[in-house]
C-alpha cells in the first residue's frame, strides 16, 4: 500500500506543528522521518495513523482518501518508543490482543500468534510477563503485536530510542529484514541520523513543521539541500569503504570487523562521530585521512573544525577539546591528518545476519 500526504497542516492553539506538508511513500518503502525534537515528526505519524486529525489536507492510502477514517479502520500497525505492553498480560496475550478485539476465531489466533512469536525469535517465552523480558525483547513483542493484524502499513515512533546502542543496532537490522520479508510500507520516526541512514530507503528531514529535504540517504547526505540539513547531518561523518575477511577498510585505513568473516568483498559505510576523530600534523602508522581545513569555530565547549577529505572529496567534521585545539594551532587552508578513535561499520542488510 502506498501512502500519499497532501498539504497537511496542523495547529495546536497558535502553534503550527505541521505547515502544508506533502509526502509520497511508495508501496514497499521503508521511510525515515528525521528531524530535531519538536519538528512535527510524531504529529505527522499520528495523522498518517488516524490517531490525530489534521486541520487541512488529506491522507490517501493507495488512491483512497482515508482522511476521516479512524485508526481502527486503517489497518495500520504502530509501535511507540515506550513499548506500552500490557503489563499483566503474557507475551502471548499481548500479541493476541488485536486479534481478540477483532473477534478472530481462537484456533486462528493461536496459529497466528505462534507464528509471530517465532518471527520475532521469542519462541519459548510466550508465557512470560513483560517484566521478565529485556528491553530489546519487549520491543520485539511490541512489533509482533503491531504485526498481528497483518497491517499493510507499519508506523514506528522512535521504536528503539529507549534501548542501549548495541541492542538498538541489532533491532534496526532486524527491522529492515522483517520489513523486506513482509513487504510492508513502513514509516519510522527517529532523531538519530545514523539510524535513518542505515536502514531507510528514503529519508525525510523535517524542521519546524516543514520538510527540508527528502531523498535516498545518499542523495540527502551527499547533497544537503540547505544549511539546516547540512548542520543537522553534521553530527556524523560517513565514508564509503569495504569489508572482507573480518576487516573493514576505508581511506587507506583498516579496522577489525569480525562480523563479516567472508572472503567476498562488500561495500560498507563507515560512520565516525566528530568527537571521535583526532587531528595530527603527521601521518601515523595506522593511517589517516588527509583533510584540508576549511573553517574552524573554537567558541563554545568544543572546538569545531570543518574540512574536506582529499581522498573522498567529502566534508569532514571534527570536534576537539579546547586544549587540543590550542595545542594544534590550526590554520584554515592547511592539510592535516585525521584519524578515528572509534568507527562504526554498517553493511547493507546481510541475509545471514541474525540476533
Ligand atoms: P517531534 O515528534 O518531532 O518531536 P511533535 O510532533 O511531537 O514533534 O511536536 C511538534 C510540536 O507540536 C511540539 O512543539 C509540541 O510541543 C507540539 N505539540 C504536539 N502535540 C501537541 C498537543 N497535543 N498539544 C499541544 N502541542 C502539541
Ligand atoms: Mg516525537
Asked if residue 130 lies in contact with residue 138, where contact means CB atoms within 8 angstroms, the answer is yes
**Residue where a domain stops, chosen among 202, 231, 260:** 231
Distances (CA, A) of 94 to 67, 88, 167, 192: 29, 9, 22, 28
- Using the atom order of ligand 1, give the atom closest to the CA of residue 13: 25
Q: Three-class SS string for the chain?
A: CCEEEEEEEEEECCEEEEEEEEEEECCCCEEEEECCCCCCHHHHHHHHHCCCCCCEEEEEECCEECCCCCHHHHCEEEEECCCCCCCCCCHHHHHHHHHHHCCCCHHHHHHHHHHHHHHCCCCCCCCCCHHHCCHHHHHHHHHHHHHCCCCCEEEEECCCCCCCHHHHHHHHHHHHHHHHHHCCEEEEEECCHHHHHHHCCEEEEEECCEEEEEECHHHHHHCCCCHHHHHHHCCCEEEEEEEECCEEEECCEEEECCCCCCCCCEEEEEEECHHHEEEECCCCCCCCEEEEEEEEECCCCCEEEEEEECCCCCEEEEEECHHHHHHHCCCCCCEEEEEECCCEEECCCCCCCCC
Q: Are residues 126 and 18 in the same domain?
A: yes
Q: What's the CA-to-centroid distance between 188 and ligand 2, angstroms?
A: 11
Q: Are residues 271 and 132 in the same domain?
A: no
Tell me the pLDDT band of 99, cut-offs 50, 70 and 90.
very high
Q: Are residues 23 and 133 in the same domain?
A: yes
Query: What's this model's pTM, rounded to 2 decimal places?
Result: 0.72
Q: Are residues 248 and 313 in the same domain?
A: yes
- Arithmetic mean of pLDDT, 262-274: 89
pLDDT tens for residues 75-96?
Answer: 898 888 766 799 999 999 999 9
333/293 Cα distance (integer angstroms): 5
Average pLDDT, the chain: 89
Interacting residues of 287 by C-beta distance below 8 A, sequence separation 6+: 251, 252, 253, 254, 339
- Using the atom order of ligand 1, give the atom closest to the CA of residue 33: 3
**Residue where a domain stops, chosen among 213, 231, 249:** 231
At residue 34, the pLDDT reads 94
User: Which of 59-73, 130-144, 185-199, 212-226 comes out lowest in average pLDDT?
Assistant: 212-226
Q: Are residues 226 and 290 in the same domain?
A: no
**Residue where a domain stops, chosen among 231, 257, 278:** 231
Q: Are residues 328 and 226 in the same domain?
A: no
At residue 271, the pLDDT reads 80
- State which residues form the domain around 283: 235-354
Total number of domains in the chain: 2
- Arithmetic mean of pLDDT, 161-175: 79
Q: What's the CA-to-centroid distance between 47 and ligand 1, angstroms?
A: 12
pLDDT tens for residues 290-335?
Answer: 999 999 988 878 899 999 999 888 889 999 999 999 999 999 999 9
**C-beta of 42 in contact with ligand 1 (< 6 A):** yes
- Arithmetic mean of pLDDT, 141-163: 87
At residue 284, the pLDDT reads 78
Q: What's the CA-to-centroid distance between 121 and ligand 2, angstroms?
A: 28
Q: Are residues 96 and 176 in the same domain?
A: yes
Phi, psi of 107 (to 5 degrees): -65, -40
Q: What's the CA-to-centroid distance between 133 and ligand 1, angstroms?
A: 31
- Using the atom order of ligand 1, give the atom closest to the CA of residue 52: 23
Cell of 231: 548542520
Asked if residue 115 lies in contact with residue 179, where contact means CB atoms within 8 angstroms, the answer is no
Q: Are residues 99 and 158 in the same domain?
A: yes
At residue 354, the pLDDT reads 32
Amino acid at each position: 500500500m502506498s501512502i500519499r500526504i497532501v498539504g497537511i497542516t496542523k495547529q495546536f492553539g497558535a502553534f503550527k506543528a505541521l505547515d502544508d506538508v506533502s509526502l509520497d511513500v511508495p508501496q514497499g518503502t521503508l521511510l525515515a522521518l528525521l528531524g530535531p525534537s519538536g519538528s512535527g515528526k510524531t504529529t505527522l505519524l499520528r495523522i498518517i495513523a488516524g490517531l490525530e486529525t489534521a486541520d487541512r489536507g488529506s491522507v490517501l492510502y493507495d488512491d483512497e482518501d482515508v482522511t476521516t477514517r479512524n485508526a481502527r479502520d486503517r489497518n495500520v500497525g504502530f509501535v511507540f518508543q515506550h513499548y506500552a505492553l500490557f503489563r499483566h498480560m503474557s507475551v502471548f496475550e499481548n500479541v493476541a490482543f488485536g486479534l481478540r478485539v477483532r473477534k478472530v476465531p481462537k484456533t486462528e489466533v493461536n496459529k497466528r500468534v505462534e507464528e509471530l512469536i517465532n518471527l520475532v525469535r521469542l519462541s519459548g517465552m510466550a508465557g512470560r510477563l513483560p517484566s521478565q523480558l529485556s528491553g530489546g525483547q519487549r520491543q520485539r513483542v511490541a512489533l509482533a503485536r503491531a504485526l498481528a493484524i497483518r497491517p499493510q502499513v507499519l508506523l514506528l515512533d522512535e521504536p528503539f530510542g529507549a534501548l542501549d546502542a548495541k541492542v538498538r543496532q541489532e533491532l534496526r537490522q532486524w527491522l529492515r529484514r522483517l520489513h523486506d520479508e513482509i513487504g510492508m510500507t513502513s514509516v519510522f520516526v527517529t532523531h538519530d541520523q545514523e539510524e535513518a541512514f542505515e536502514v531507510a530507503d528514503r529519508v525525510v528531514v523535517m524542521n519546524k513543521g516543514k520538510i527540508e529535504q527528502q531523498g535516498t540517504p545518499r542523495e540527502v547526505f551527499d547533497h544537503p539541500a540547505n544549511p539546516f540539513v547540512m548542520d543537522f547531518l553534521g553530527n556524523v561523518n560517513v565514508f564509503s569503504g569495504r569489508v572482507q575477511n573480518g576487516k573493514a577498510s576505508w581511506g587507506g585505513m583498516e579496522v577489525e570487523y569480525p562480523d563479516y568473516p567472508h572472503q567476498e568483498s562488500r561495500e560498507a559505510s563507515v560512520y565516525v562521530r566528530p568527537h571521535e576523530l583526532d587531528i595530527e600534523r603527521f601521518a601515523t602508522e595506522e593511517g589517516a585521512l588527509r583533510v584540508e581545513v576549511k573553517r574552524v569555530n573554537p567558541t563554545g565547549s568544543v572546538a569545531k573544525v570543518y574540512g574536506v577529505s582529499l581522498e573522498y572529496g567529502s566534508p569532514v567534521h571534527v570536534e576537539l577539546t579546547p586544549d587540543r585545539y590550542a595545542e594544534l594551532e590550526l590554520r584554515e587552508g592547511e592539510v592535516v591528518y585525521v584519524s578515528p578513535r572509534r568507527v562504526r561499520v554498517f553493511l547493507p542488510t546481510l541475509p545471514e545476519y541474525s540476533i
